[in-house]
């Protein structure tokens, strides 16, 4: 999972064109997105957040990293 987060953050940072000092923000946002994404390891295809809280996450606020 650690490699997944870092790869996702690197790709988002590159695609956004933001400078490297936004690396930490990219990692935080990668975790935010992954926690709201469905998980194939779960037979019900629930997100980690849904498994933890029992509520379906609202993904309407998930936007491209670096967008205004």
Distance CA 8, CA 61 (A): 18
If DSSP states are collapsed to H, E and C, what string results for 40-63?
A: CCCCCCCCHHHHHHCCCCCHHHCC
Q: Is 67 part of any domain? A: no
Q: What is the pLDDT of residues 3-21, one digit of tens each?
A: 999 999 999 999 999 999 9
Q: How many domains does the chain have?
A: 1
Contact 29, 65 (CB under 8 A): yes
pTM of the full structure: 0.86
- The pLDDT score that the predictor gives to residue 41 is 82
Q: Is 52 part of any domain? A: yes
Domain that residue 43 falls in: 2-61
Q: Say yes or no to pLDDT of 42 above 90.
A: no
- The pLDDT score that the predictor gives to residue 13 is 96
- 9 vs 40: which has the higher pLDDT: 9
Q: Say yes or no to pLDDT of 22 above 80.
A: yes
């Amino acid at each position: 999972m650690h490699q997944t987060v870092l790869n996702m953050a690197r790709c988002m940072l590159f695609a956004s064109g933001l400078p490297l000092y936004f690396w930490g923000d990219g990692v935080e946002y990668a975790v935010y997105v992954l926690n709201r994404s469905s998980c194939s390891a779960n037979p019900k295809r629930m997100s980690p957040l849904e498994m933890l809280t029992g509520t379906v996450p609202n993904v309407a606020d998930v936007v491209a990293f670096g967008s205004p």
